[in-house]
Amino acid sequence: MSKAIESPCVEVCQIRKGDKVCHGCFRTLDEIAGWGGMTAAERRQIMNELPSRKRATALPS
């Protein structure tokens, strides 16, 4: 049995034309595509960056 890969995916893909990140998980398309081939350390580094990406792309209230 293989261990599940940790992922920030929330199963709500929202990538609009011109956007650089998914507004569901805040990963780039390249990160999403390569996620399964990354090391746990590479995935953890990206996951640590996601909160700041979310704040940077937040829509004004």
Segment 3-17, tens digit of pLDDT: 678 899 998 888 888
pLDDT higher than 70, residue 60: no
Residues 16/23, Cβ–Cβ less than 8 Å = yes
- Using CB atoms within 10 Å of the CB of residue 25, give its burial: 0 to 12 exposed, 13 to 18 middle, 19+ buried: buried
Question: Which pLDDT belongs to residue 59?
Answer: 61
pTM higher than 0.75, yes or no? Answer: yes
Residues 7-48 have pLDDT tens digits of 999 988 888 888 888 999 999 999 999 999 999 999 999 999
Nearest partner of 29 among 42, 16, 41, judged by Cα = 16
Count of all residues that appear for the chain in the document: 61
Domain layout of the chain by residue ranges: 11-49
Question: Which pLDDT belongs to residue 34?
Answer: 96
Torsion of CA 46, 10, 33, 39, to 10 degrees: 40
